[in-house]
Structure formats: structure tokens, C-alpha cells
A and B are shown apart, each in its own frame.
Chain A
Amino acid sequence: MNWFYFASPATFYGLAGRLAPWFFILAAVLAAWGLYLGLGVAPTDAQQGEVYRVIFIHVPTAWMSMFLYFVMACYCGLTLVFNTRLSAMMARAIAPTGAMFTFIALWTGSFWGRPTWGTYWVWDARLTSELVLLFLYFGYIALANAFEDPRRGDRAAALLALIGVVNLPIIYFSVQWWNTLHQGSSVSFKGTSMHVTMLTGMLVMSFSAWMYAIGATLVRVRAVILERERRAQWVRNLPEAA
């Protein structure tokens, strides 16, 4: 079996087109279920009242912002090691979605902070490192697009993403290493102190965000492939090209 059949932009274009709608459908279904659990079923919090329900958006997007950077860094590693075009295209496709999730995490976190901490923003370790993550995404996108030769942009931005991956453990462990205003982690592999419906709602929303991210990346990578391979014969033979 040829494991690398889909490693070519030409073949992956079709696969991505067939898969993307399913991921969006799955994301929509999971989001509907997750929001039902989060907004309808989960009980009122003893300390925060109803305002805590923003965690059903805030936590999934924050988790995805870090996870997507990690996945992007993996694709960047593949780009540098194997010099494959498609790895670089996937990394480029992930970056805007990752930046969006980071922004949503920061934005929803601000609105959660105002009623609970009394402030929209504080320069503690977690918020600052998440903001740095947003700038790292922007830097990746800017550097990748800063060159005439797209392959040079791919490799330069790939190396930048790998240098920046050191920020991920800092974000993750920031609440343990520093005395921060942001609360510590409530969920770990050993168990959680959260109410079970809150936890379920949060996990379902996280999967929904993940499925959405995959769908959005697949759609975006199709656009990147078309742009980069536009002079190839298979692109000219596409029905959309007519």
C-alpha cells in the first residue's frame, strides 16, 4: 500500500474536498449538543453564577489555540526535514485558524475576567504568554508571505514556528509556575473537580472546535494548493478552472 499517495497536492486536493464537509457537519452537531449541555443542562455555579458558562467557548478555543500551534509546528518540522510542499501548505492553512482561536480565547477570557476578577486584562503569566502566542501566529503568517519565492517563505516560517514552540510549555505550565490571577487547571488525566455535566459540555465543545479546525484547515489548504499549483496541468483540468 502506498502510504504516500496523498502526500501530493494533486491527490490531497480531492481528498480534502471530500472530507471537509463531514468535519463541518460533525462540528455543527457537536456544537449543538455541547451548547445544549452547557447552556441548558449544566447547573448554575456556586461561586460565579451564570457567567461561568463562557468556559464552553473559552476553554475549547484556548486548548485548540495551543494544540493547533503544536500541529502546525509538526508540519513545519516535516517541511524542513522532508522538504515536502504539502506539509508547508498544511502549516500555512492551520495558522489563520490557530490565530483566530487564540484571539477568541483572549477575547472571551477578557469578558469573563471583568465580572469575576474586576478587570478585562492583567499582565499575568498565562494571559501574557497566550498573547505572545497570538503574536507568534501573526509572525508566522507574516514571514511566510514576505518572500517572492513561496518555498523560501515556507522554510523560513517553518524554522520560526519551531523556535516559537518553546512558548507552548510556558503557557501550559504558567499557572503552576507562577502565582497568577488565572485559575489553575481543573482538568487533568487523574480526574477533575468539576461537575460532570460542565465537564462533558466542555469536552464536547472542545471536540467540536477540533472538528471545525480540521474542516477549516482542509478548505483553506485547497485554496493554498490551487494558488501554488495554478500552472499545473491537473489544476487547469479541474471543472472549477473552466
Chain B
Amino acid sequence: MRTGRLSAATARRERAEGSFSGGFSWAMARDLRLAWRHPDEAVLTVAFFALVASLFPLGIGAEPQLLTRIGPGVIWVGALLAAFLALPGIFAADYLDGSLEQMTLSPHPALGWAAGKIAAHWIVSGLPLTLLSPLIGLQYGLAPDTLAVQALSLLVGTPVLSLLGGACAALALGARGGGMLLALLALPLFVPVLIFGAGAAEAQATGLSPTPHLSLLAAALIAALVGLPWAVGAAVRIAVD
């Protein structure tokens, strides 16, 4: 019966050859540890989301019916913008101090550590947004079932945003134009996710089934998980070459 421990030979081989899981777990652990030590980014992302969600009732008017009607969409837009603003932080610091170049030289495939960085970014930005969304939804007077579907749509949709946004952030590393360029690259790609995510919550709110929207979101997530980590790795290699 095999135990859970690697034999010495396997361990040596894993270290020398690198592997997807090795790269993934290393990068995710590293980024999570860094985020834990400097939680500003995560806290700011959530604070931005809450602030943006507060602006709409103040700007448009706080009638309960209006808020319930616009709630799902506004919450999704707020989460999308907050996720977008967190994007430069995935690669910027590592790019500036040369760690990113070192990562491209590692024996682990770029697919692995790129996926690990994106996963850590989602845990630090997308997941807190998802967990906070029911609270914001209560501010908009959404019903409990709508809140649940809203949170589910964010849970499925924000990883797609992190993957797409991560690819765009890697492509725009060191480019002139900074944040505006990243907006031009990432926001058109975010549009389908927004349409289906907000559509799911609105469908639930109006009594229709959210399943079609959630299914398409899940399909987008699977496609993104399959294709985009490779694209992120390729984009980083383009950036550091």
C-alpha cells in the first residue's frame, strides 16, 4: 500500500523537472503569504466595492423599488470594477523587481505558476467580493433568493474575470498608457461575463430561472480554466523576453 510520502527518487525528480502542481502550489502559497503580510490591496478592493455600491443610491435616488430593480446590475458592475482595479497588482511588483523573470526561468511550467498567481489573486479579491455581496444586496433590498443567486453568479463569474484580467494585465506589463490601456483591453472581454452574471441575478429577481445564465457562466469558467492560464504564461514570457 502506498503511503502519502514521495520516495526520495520521486522527490528529486519533482524538484529537478518541475511540475504543474509544484508551480501552482508554490505560486499560490507565495502570493497568499505576501497578501497576508500586506492586506491593503484586499481590503481596498472590498472597500472600493462597498463605496461604489453606496454611490448609486446617492446619485440616482433611494426609492426602494428602483434600488431593487437596479440592484443586481449595480452590484455586478461594482464587483467587476473592483476586480478590475485589483488587476495590476498581480504582476506589477514581481515585474519591477525581477521576480517574474526568475519565475519564467524556473523548471515549473509557466502554466502552473501563472495559474497559481491567478488563483491567489482571486482568493484575495474575487472571493471577498463574493462574500460581501449579500450584505450589499441587503442594502439594495434584494430578496434572499436573489441574494443567493447573486452570490453564486459572482462565485462563478469572478474567477473568469481574474483569468481574463490576469491575461490582459500580463500583456500590458510595462506598457505606456497604464490603467487606461488595461481598461480598454480587459473591459470588452468582461462584457459577456457581466451580461450573464447580472442576468442570472435579475432573472431570479423577476421570477425566471437563472439556470441558463449560470450554466453559460460555468461554461465560460471551464473554458477560461482550460485556455487562459496558458495565455497568461505566454503573455508573461512575452513581457520578460
Contacts and interface: CB of A to CB of B under 8 A. Distances in A.
Interface of A: 80, 128, 132, 135-136, 138-139, 142-143, 146-147, 152, 155-157, 159-160, 162-164, 166-167, 170
B239 A146 contact: no
B3 to A, nearest CB: 43
| Leading 6 A-B pairs by shortest Cβ distance | A146-B175, A135-B188, A155-B238, A156-B171, A139-B185, A132-B188
Given A142-B177, A163-B167, A156 B188 contact: no
Nearest to B186: A139
18 contacts: A132-B188, A132-B191, A135-B184, A135-B188, A143-B175, A143-B185, A146-B175, A146-B176, A147-B176, A155-B238, A156-B172, A156-B239, A159-B235, A163-B189, A163-B228, A164-B189, A166-B223, A167-B188
Interface string B199-241: 0000000000000000000000001000010010011001101
Contacts of B235: 156, 159
Contact of B168 (A146, A152, A160): A160
Contact of B188 (A139, A147, A155): A139
B39 interface: no
Contacts of A166: 223
Contacts of B55: none
A147 B175 contact: yes
Nearest to A128: B191
A159 B238 CA distance: 9
A170 B192 contact: yes
B174 interface: yes
A135 B186 CA distance: 10
A159 B172 CA distance: 11
B188 A136 contact: yes
Given A135-B188, A138-B184, A159-B231, A146 B172 contact: yes
Contacts of B172: 143, 146, 156
A132 B235 CA distance: 22
Contacts of A157: 171
Contact of B171 (A136, A160, A167): A160
A135 B238 CA distance: 23
| A interface: dominant SS | helix
B176 A135 contact: no
Contacts, number: 61
A139 B172 CA distance: 11
A152 B172 CA distance: 10
B187 interface: yes
Nearest to A178: B195
Contacts of B195: 128
B39 to A, nearest CB: 31
B181 interface: yes
Contacts of B228: 163
Interface in B144-189: 164, 167-168, 171-172, 174-177, 181, 184-185, 187-189
Contacts of A147: 174-176
Contacts of A142: 177, 181, 184-185
Given A135-B184, A157-B171, 10 more contacts: A139-B185, A142-B185, A146-B177, A147-B176, A156-B171, A156-B172, A156-B238, A159-B231, A163-B228, A164-B189
A152 B188 CA distance: 22
B104 to A, nearest CB: 14
Given A159-B238, A163-B167, A146 B188 contact: no
A143 B175 CA distance: 8
B170 to A, nearest CB: 9
A152 B238 CA distance: 7
Nearest to A151: B241
Given A142-B177, A146-B176, A170-B192, A163 B184 contact: no
A136 B187 CA distance: 10
Contacts of A146: 172, 175-177, 181
